[in-house]
Structure 1
């Protein structure tokens, strides 16, 4: 009866049948061995839902739809070079790059994340680094971050009801090892806030109570009160879908935004989280009032900040929702073909969300 299904549904069923065969399981068992993200990846792209005549975005100097991709991009040439060298088993480039980030804590956090992810896949180069330079704080830092990645790979991204007791036990065991590694990294470089950013991820995975989380937060902010990566992680802890509420999330975002322009985009993230709790927030005065400053920061001092590309995606959405279409188009010019920001993926159709928001921006914008 497949012929009764719509074309997209038929393609999805065939894709699932093929995947089940590849994995050697029945199609009904796929839900137990695949993450939600893997399921979404099986679906053919859905035509974006956009009310109105779809504009030709190329008239505004934007790349055509068929060039837009959700593939994760790394635009940092130094990070790309180190990823290539670690894939060959070399560690000296990674060590030099991480050492060069000392004092630029936001960039150090970015590089640590990239190296930790690489080591979680193959840690031969990291082990060689630690053997060659015992007590190197950079190697200890990457080790801690890589263990967090390993822990989540062990647990998998499945809903808790589909995670086995053995997986949970291994998950918490590896997180405990990561916690020990964080303390080692911090002892080797006491002034470095970066181990405490990793500690925030560990505390969240361990389902830490608010008081416990605040202890980690205090260690972080003592070293860098305006650390962007840490604030982004903490916002998730205090949002309703994790261990907080809309009220706690907004209070945290407002307090952060008052500290520094680079933290103001947290208000946009809070608005997006609120929308997914069915609370309208894009036109909230806290968001609308912050947009001028956020756009100015993105085009000025924050142009090369590690979070800028993600922030531009949030800004594009907020500008569209507030009727500032020409400015939204400008943000999409910066984003180009890249639909890899987290904001687009929430609906399960990242490319579709990107395109629909881009259509809306061009539809309402001044004629090119």
Structure 2
């Protein structure tokens, strides 16, 4: 009965009933066709999860709550400029930017991801590039990445039970095309690890068994043993929710962290995955013991690394959970108004999670 539901849940039910009536279908039919994001949007805003007197975060030099946004946006001026030129159908700037990243593999992965996402929405400029420069390894690389984005658009973000047979068939068919494109890109530039990063995404989508996945992984690390984007993707593969286990996930994160300081944040990602499945991990000795090195990396050599913004979100959470509040506030100073890190969104309300963690940091920090 409705009266047994909490106030927020009642409001959500009424909102669903109203929307179903507007569409002329039942509530069950409505929930079957709506995406998780659309269903979440039917819920009233969640009040901050922080329990206690909410501090005035501006006293610590942080932007007010009203300015915090979950909108995903690029801060890289070069990528922004290429997005604008590609929208006009021009490909030369994209080709030049990607070519400039040769040998700086983490940045090349970032640029390729941005170009692939843009091409998935409108590939006129990419088709012009491939026509003007047949056999260009950069164009082949972006083509492979764009096909992965297209495949997931076709599949949609719905749970598998709500994805039609036709969608799944198209999804796998496009991923096969993406695999062919990635192999083409690798053949054109054999030393480039980036096509193999794309292959890791394809392997996830095509549900590779562990042995198959490891063969792809071997090709990647042979070209760049410390590739950050590849390690982040691979960690997800070894998570229990995909094709691994808690033991394999932690083993992978620990092995990666031992390779390089820029891979140490994988321990924080593993902790967050564990916590999300109700396994306490933020104060795990593997996490607590790595925090000093991670913070030093973020504030030093890794300050401008492509993964740093996302890593600061994990670091802020880990520092709060380990009682290192002043250092957590410092991470929030770097994050500013940006609550678009993937970690915040796991709860279903990224902004509320960001604000609650920020309140906790300030509440425990030294008073300004």
TM-score of the pair, normalised by structure 2: 0.96
Rounded to whole Å, the distance in 2 between the matches of 1:134 and 1:304 is 34
After superposition, where does 1:87-126 map in structure 2 within 5 Å?
87-126=87-126
Structure 1: runs of 5+ lacking an equivalent:
none
How far 1:73 sits from its partner (Å)? 1.8
Matched, 1:340 2:343: no
- Output the aligned Cα RMSD: 1.9
Correspondence for 1:36:
36
User: Secondary structure at the residue paired with 2:90?
Assistant: coil
Correspondence for 2:310:
310
Greater alpha carbon shift after TM alignment, 203-212 vs 4-13? 4-13
Is residue 105–residue 227 contact of structure 1 (8 Å, CA) maintained in 2?
Answer: yes
After superposition, where does 1:42-53 map in structure 2 within 5 Å?
42-53=42-53
Correspondence for 1:294:
294
Greater alpha carbon shift after TM alignment, 15-24 vs 163-172? 15-24
How far 1:85 sits from its partner (Å)? 1.3
Rounded to whole Å, the distance in 2 between the matches of 1:112 and 1:354 is 29
Rounded to whole Å, the distance in 1 between the matches of 2:102 and 2:18 is 48
| Corresponding residue pairs, total | 368
After superposition, what is the alpha-carbon deviation per residue over 1:140-165, rounded to whole angstroms, capped at 9, x for unaligned? Answer: 00000010011111111111111111
Correspondence for 1:134:
134
Matched, 1:253 2:253: yes
How far 1:278 sits from its partner (Å)? 1.6
Greater alpha carbon shift after TM alignment, 207-216 vs 28-37? 28-37
TM-score of the pair, normalised by structure 1: 0.96
How far 1:337 sits from its partner (Å)? 0.7
After superposition, where does 1:170-249 map in structure 2 within 5 Å?
170-249=170-249
How far 1:90 sits from its partner (Å)? 1.3
How far 1:22 sits from its partner (Å)? 7.6
Correspondence for 2:350:
350
How far 1:26 sits from its partner (Å)? 4.6
Matched, 1:273 2:290: no
Q: 1:290 to 1:23 in 2, by over 3 A?
A: farther
Rounded to whole Å, the distance in 1 between the matches of 2:354 and 2:173 is 38
Correspondence for 2:282:
282
Matched, 1:86 2:108: no
How far 1:38 sits from its partner (Å)? 2.7
How far 1:28 sits from its partner (Å)? 3.1
Is residue 68–residue 351 contact of structure 1 (8 Å, CA) maintained in 2?
Answer: yes
Correspondence for 2:55:
55
Matched, 1:321 2:321: yes
Q: 1:270 to 1:3 in 2, by over 3 A?
A: closer
Rounded to whole Å, the distance in 2 between the matches of 1:106 and 1:260 is 14
Rounded to whole Å, the distance in 1 between the matches of 2:321 and 2:152 is 35
Rounded to whole Å, the distance in 2 between the matches of 1:342 and 1:254 is 21
How far 1:50 sits from its partner (Å)? 1.3
Rounded to whole Å, the distance in 1 between the matches of 2:186 and 2:21 is 47
How far 1:260 sits from its partner (Å)? 0.4
Is residue 73–residue 338 contact of structure 1 (8 Å, CA) maintained in 2?
Answer: no
Q: 1:23 to 1:85 in 2, by over 3 A?
A: farther
Correspondence for 1:77:
77
Rounded to whole Å, the distance in 2 between the matches of 1:180 and 1:24 is 44
Rounded to whole Å, the distance in 2 between the matches of 1:281 and 1:196 is 31
Q: 1:101 to 1:20 in 2, by over 3 A?
A: farther
